[in-house]
Structure 1
């Protein structure tokens, strides 16, 4: 006997639940919050995902794999990859403060899980390092083509960008002025 068929779209469920985790944080998101968000009962949800942790992992995997695949493909196909890379940062200036001021889910997760859950922390680290490897590849190609000014190693430049990415996601919660944000981004991206 195969059991009852699923009556929900798993991809949509993962998108909704990871968005809730992102907004509230892992610990602050209750099972009741999750069930309400996806309009399912506990049995239906936990029949597929055995725990809140498994649901978070599946949601983060879906979100980051899709997003990073799209970013990598976009930068590889771009005729102006450095301008597209800069746009990732400048897009924050015009993003809705209320809607998009949740920070980076990877940075948030690393902070929340450090010392509490090594498995979830390492999952976030894995995706942040994948983001870093995409940056390295883009910066290395740009250096080889003479597109960027800096001669520093792409690995160091990419770590600067990762550090800035996490920092700007926090800083924009303090300084919401668009001109101040743009000036800060200009300064941190001046090497490219």
Structure 2
């Protein structure tokens, strides 16, 4: 007879996400995961298959929470420049919290790629969604003459995503919002 799962899978994924975000994939052992989640190794394997399965679930949880919130903030912005500034500054703030742990997505890319193809797909999909949302925002802003039309919206969105990824790496080196925020203002000059 199969045993009923005796833990909240969603809460376990959220807690695992925090541990992977803080320590990274390689530095997090299955033993540490089971202790942190308060579950047995058999339960972890039954629910997620293995450490990789739990890691992918944690990345998906990150996508559904932090990444989705960032995309919503773009849709809710009053104007493109303000929305993009708010997005970039908020991402810096999140990255420097908890001692400068950075961005889980960028951490995954720098630690697990190019070898880990499932992580590559997840990272590519999330970055693509960010770039698509920015492209739509920039295209509409250019049509309203809110920003300059001198750059192709798709290329400008790709630049902003690339800039943000570099900024998130820098946030691990300099975990100080006040030191990084002026860089956002420089990036925003591409909208002029």
| TM-score grouping bracket, smaller chain normalisation | 0.7 to 0.9
State the partner residue of 1:183. 182
Asked whether the equivalents of residues 101 and 169 of structure 1 are also in contact (C-alpha less than 8 Å), the reply is: no
Are positions 1:87 and 2:121 aligned together? Answer: no
What is the deviation of 1:109? 1.3
State the partner residue of 1:56. 55
1:144-159 paired onto structure 2 within 5 Å? 144-159=143-158
What is the deviation of 1:34? 0.6
Q: TM-score, length-normalised on structure 1?
A: 0.86
What is the deviation of 1:100? 5.6
- Once the two structures are superposed, what CA deviation does each residue of 1:64-120 show, in whole Å capped at 9, x if it has no partner? 034343333343344335312211222356568461622222222122222422222
What is the deviation of 1:174? 3.1
How many residue pairs get aligned? The number is 191
CA RMSD in angstroms, aligned pairs only: 2.3
Q: Kindly tell me: are residues 188 and 23 of structure 1, through their superposed partners in 2, closer, same or farther at Cα, counting changes over 3 Å?
A: same
Taking the aligned partners of 2:70 and 2:178, their CA distance within structure 1 comes to 26
State the partner residue of 1:42. 41
Segments of structure 1 that go 5 or more residues without pairing to the other structure are: none
Asked whether the equivalents of residues 20 and 29 of structure 1 are also in contact (C-alpha less than 8 Å), the reply is: yes
State the partner residue of 1:102. 101
Taking the aligned partners of 2:85 and 2:72, their CA distance within structure 1 comes to 16
Q: TM-score, length-normalised on structure 2?
A: 0.86
State the partner residue of 1:9. 8
More helix by share: 2
State the partner residue of 1:127. 126
Asked whether the equivalents of residues 100 and 172 of structure 2 are also in contact (C-alpha less than 8 Å), the reply is: yes
Segments of structure 2 that go 5 or more residues without pairing to the other structure are: none
Asked whether the equivalents of residues 92 and 168 of structure 2 are also in contact (C-alpha less than 8 Å), the reply is: no
State the partner residue of 2:66. 67
Taking the aligned partners of 1:14 and 1:43, their CA distance within structure 2 comes to 16
